[in-house]
Amino acid sequence: MSRTVLLMFIFIILVFSGACKGKAPVSKAGPAKAVQAATPQEAEVKGPKVEEEVYLYERKGKRDPFVSLVVKAEEKPKKGQTPLENYDVAAIKILGIVWNEKGYYAEVALPDGKTYTVIEGMTIGLHEGRIQRIKKDSIVIRENIKDYKGEIKPKETILKLREEEEE
């Protein structure tokens, strides 16, 4: 039984090796280009030559396709900034709002536990936001944030004194 299997194996090898003798070895360099000498009559039969269409990518006005669409909001604070500019606006909580004849004042707490008194016009948040208005129950902050295209657009954030009042 083992002899017949061995003989069959040798026979198969001989058949396949004999079939490959007449063929040229395959080149890994790429497909071979056929050189044709076209006669003038053959060129007329084939028709006009077709030119290749070339596409050039114009970067102007488009975003870089290799830059991530997700923009990190947590950036390292720059030197010389106030502690209010080291945290994102969403992480700041309002403790209370008071007012007198001069205007409104708000007491805010940062994530590190420190509290500060803020007034209208102060810079707050990671994106150099300005406090636009302080009302009896909220603070309106306007920041200039880069969108996914890299354009700077204004964004208004409203911090409420009591979060359960949100609609």
Q: pLDDT per residue over 19-48, tens digit each?
A: 555 555 555 555 555 555 555 555 555 667
Percent pLDDT > 70 in the chain is: 72
- How confident is the prediction for the chain on average, in pLDDT? 78
Which of 43, 160, 143, 156 has the alpha carbon at shortest distance from 97? 160
- pLDDT of 53 > 70? The answer is yes
- pLDDT of 107 > 90? The answer is yes
Q: What is the pTM of this model?
A: 0.50
- Burial (CB < 10 A; 0-12, 13-18, 19+), residue 125, is buried
Q: Span 138-152, mean pLDDT?
A: 88
Triad 128, 129, 132: Cα angle to 5°: 150
Architecture of domain 83-162: Roll (2.30)
